[in-house]
Amino acid sequence: MELFNFGEDSLEDVPEEFIPLAERVRAQKISDVVGQEHITGEGEVIDRMIKNKSVFSMILWGPPGSGKTTLAKLIAKECGSKFYKLSAVSSGVKDLREVIYNAGIAARRGDAAVLFIDEIHRYNKGQQDALLNSVEKGIIRLIGATTENPSFEVNSALLSRSKVLKLKPLSEVALENILLRALDEDAIIKAQNVSIDEDAKKILLEASGGDARKMLNTLELAVEFSQDQENVSISQAELKKALTDNRKKYDKSGDYHYDIISAFIKSLRGSDPDAAIYYLARMLDAGENPEFIARRLIIFSSEDVSNASPNGLVMAQACFNAVSVIGMPEARIILAQCATYLASQPKSNASYMALNKAMEVVEKEGDNAEVPLHLRNAPTKMMKELGFGKEYKYPHDFDGHFVLEDYMPEKIKNEQFYFPTEEGMEKQIKERLSAKWKNKKKYL
C-alpha cells in the first residue's frame, strides 16, 4: 500500500537517477495533463470538481499510458485530500481494511481521503463488496482505474455509486508534447544533451500506440543504448533496438502484455492459426485472464470476420460463455478452438468501416439531416396530420418483400456506407443487395 500525503515529496529519499523517466516527467498539475481535455478542460467535469474542492467516486476507464494514475494523484492533490494507492494485482481485503481504517480516522478529523485502485477490474466480487460501505458513507472517495469495460468488470452496486470517465488513447500531438517536456525539462535527460532525429521520433510516436508510459520507457532505453552518454543522439538504430529489447517480460499490467495481445489479434486477422495459437499459449502461460482473451475474440469476430462468416460471432460468444463457466485449465481448449476457427475464416471489415464512415457523417451533419417524413413514427393525430408516416411503403406488401424506397435523409441521400466484400458469406450479401438496389447503390 502506498500513502501519499501531498505537501510532502513521497519520492524525496529516492535518488533521481533511480526514478523512471515516466515518473520524473509526470504532470504536476491538472492543467499540465495533455490529451484528455474532454474531461480536464475549462468547465469540464474534472475542472468543475477541482474548483469545488469536492471529489466524487469515479472509475477512470482508458487504455494504458493515457494518464489514469496521474489524474488520480492530481485530483487528490488539488482537492487537498490524502491519497492512498492500492494495486488490485497485489493487494487483498486486509489492505483495503487498513486503508479504510486510516481513512476513517482522517474523516473524523475532517480530512478527506482518496483511495486509488489500479486495475480495479482484477478485484474479485468479495474485494469490490468490501469497498461499498465505506464509499456509501463517504469515508473514502474511490478512484478506480481500468483498461477493461467497467460494465463487465466492476460490481454493479459499486458502479452505480461511481461516475465513469472514459479516457482516450493519446494522440501523436499529445505524445509529442510529453516527449518535448521530457527532452526540455527533465534534468537527467538535459544533462546528457539528449536529442532525437525526426525519423526516429516519428517511429517512436507511432510505436507507442497512444501510450505515454511506453513512449518514455522506450526513450529511456534508447538513451541507455547510446554509445555516448554525454551527448546522446537517438537515431532509428538505437530506437529499433529499444523497441525490440528482449529484457521485456510479459506482465499483465505492462507494455508487453499489450504487445502480445496485439500480435495475437494481428495473427488472427492475417489468417495464421499457428501464430494465433502461439501467442495464445504465451498469454495463458503468463497467467492471463481467459475471459479477457475471450472478450477480445468477440470483438475480433465482428470487427475483422463480420458478415464474411457470421457464425464467427456465434462461436466467439459461445466461447466466452463456456470459458466463464468452465474456468482454467480446461478453458484453454475452448479458447484454442475459437482462435483457430476465427483465424481460418474469410475476413471482412466492411461493417466496421461502414460504421466509421457513418459516424463521420453524423459528426459532420449533426441533427441537420432530417429523418424523412414517411419514415417517422406517428402515434398521435396531430403527427399524422403533419404527414408523419404518410406514404410509407410496407416492404412485405411487395414482391420479394422489397420495394425501392428512399430511407436516407434528403441531405445525404447519395451516401453509401456499407460496401460488402467478395469474401465468404458476404459475397452472397453483396449479390443480393446488388440485385435489389440495382443502380441506386454502388454494390456492384
Does residue 248 carry a pLDDT above 60?
A: no
Kindly state whether residue 229 falls inside one of the protein's structural domains: yes
Confidence of residue 409 (pLDDT cuts 50, 70, 90): confident
pLDDT for the residue numbered 222 = 86
Kindly state whether residue 414 falls inside one of the protein's structural domains: yes
Specify whether 49 is located in the same domain as 137: yes
pLDDT for the residue numbered 304 = 94
Kindly state whether residue 210 falls inside one of the protein's structural domains: yes
Check which CATH number belongs to the domain holding 196 and give it: 1.10.8.60
Specify whether 106 is located in the same domain as 224: no
Specify whether 120 is located in the same domain as 36: yes
Does residue 372 carry a pLDDT above 50?
A: yes
Q: Which of 182, 213, 177 is nearest to 195 (CA)?
A: 182
116 within 8 A of 69, measured Cβ to Cβ: yes
Query: Is 248 or 73 the better-scoring residue by pLDDT?
Result: 73
Question: Which residues on neighbouring strands pair with residue 85, listed in sequence order?
Answer: 2, 116
Q: Choose the final residue of a domain: 243, 276, 306.
A: 243
Average the pLDDT over 41-47 and give the result.
Answer: 92
Question: Cα–Cα–Cα angle for 128, 294, 427, nearest 5°?
Answer: 145
Q: Choose the final residue of a domain: 243, 277, 298.
A: 243
pLDDT for the residue numbered 367 = 66
Write down the residue that cell numbers 458513507 correspond to: 137
Ranking 106-110, 294-298, 305-309, 426-430 by mean pLDDT, the lowest is: 106-110
Does residue 253 carry a pLDDT above 80?
A: no
Specify whether 264 is located in the same domain as 194: no
Confidence of residue 14 (pLDDT cuts 50, 70, 90): very low
* Residue-wise pLDDT tens digits, 123-163: 877 778 878 888 888 888 999 999 888 887 788 888 888 99
pLDDT for the residue numbered 380 = 62
Specify whether 44 is located in the same domain as 122: yes
C-alpha cell belonging to residue 42: 475549462
Kindly state whether residue 360 falls inside one of the protein's structural domains: no
Kindly state whether residue 296 falls inside one of the protein's structural domains: yes
* Residue-wise pLDDT tens digits, 304-317: 999 999 999 999 99
Specify whether 146 is located in the same domain as 202: no
Question: Which residues on neighbouring strands pair with residue 142, listed in sequence order?
Answer: 115
Check which CATH number belongs to the domain holding 157 and give it: 3.40.50.300
pLDDT for the residue numbered 426 = 87
* Residue-wise pLDDT tens digits, 263-320: 999 999 999 999 999 999 998 888 788 988 999 999 999 999 999 999 999 999 999 9
Specify whether 226 is located in the same domain as 374: no
Kindly state whether residue 349 falls inside one of the protein's structural domains: no
Q: Which of 299, 301, 296, 325 is nearest to 315 (CA)?
A: 301
Question: Which residues on neighbouring strands pair with residue 116, listed in sequence order?
Answer: 85, 143
Check which CATH number belongs to the domain holding 293 and give it: 1.20.272.10
* Residue-wise pLDDT tens digits, 75-102: 999 998 889 998 887 777 788 888 888 8
Q: Choose the final residue of a domain: 243, 267, 285.
A: 243
Kindly state whether residue 361 falls inside one of the protein's structural domains: no
pLDDT for the residue numbered 5 = 42
Ranking 41-45, 210-214, 235-239, 361-365 by mean pLDDT, the lowest is: 361-365
* Residue-wise pLDDT tens digits, 174-208: 999 999 999 998 988 988 899 898 988 998 998 88
pLDDT for the residue numbered 394 = 75
Confidence of residue 378 (pLDDT cuts 50, 70, 90): low
How many domains does the chain divide into?
Answer: 4
Specify whether 235 is located in the same domain as 264: no
Ranking 88-102, 133-147, 240-254, 410-424 by mean pLDDT, the lowest is: 240-254
3-state SS, the chain, equals: CEEECCCCCCCCCCCHHHCCHHHHCCCCCHHHCCCCHHHHCCCCHHHHHHHHCCCCCEEEECCCCCCHHHHHHHHHHHCCCEEEEEECCCCCHHHHHHHHHHHHHHHHCCCCEEEEEECHHHCCHHHHHHHHHHHHHCCCEEEEEECCCHHHHCCHHHHHCCEEEECCCCCHHHHHHHHHHHHHHCHHHHHCCCEECHHHHHHHHHHHCCCHHHHHHHHHHHHHHCCCCCCCEECHHHHHHHHCCCCCCCCCCCHHHHHHHHHHHHHHHCCCHHHHHHHHHHHHHCCCCHHHHHHHHHHHHHHHHHHHCCHHHHHHHHHHHHHHHHCCCCHHHHHHHHHHHHHHCCCCCHHHHHHHHHHHHHHHHCCCCCCCHHHCCCCCHHHHHCCCCCCCCCHHHCHHHCCCCCCCCHHHCCCCCCCCCCCCHHHHHHHHHHHHHCCCCCCC
Specify whether 110 is located in the same domain as 219: no
Domain extent at residue 184: 172-243
pLDDT for the residue numbered 375 = 63
Average the pLDDT over 338-343 and give the result.
Answer: 95
Specify whether 25 is located in the same domain as 153: yes
pLDDT for the residue numbered 45 = 93
Specify whether 141 is located in the same domain as 31: yes
Check which CATH number belongs to the domain holding 388 and give it: 1.10.3710.10
Kindly state whether residue 444 falls inside one of the protein's structural domains: no
pLDDT for the residue numbered 418 = 83
Confidence of residue 332 (pLDDT cuts 50, 70, 90): very high
Specify whether 238 is located in the same domain as 279: no
C-alpha cell belonging to residue 201: 521520433
C-alpha cell belonging to residue 264: 495475437
pLDDT for the residue numbered 252 = 52
pLDDT for the residue numbered 387 = 60
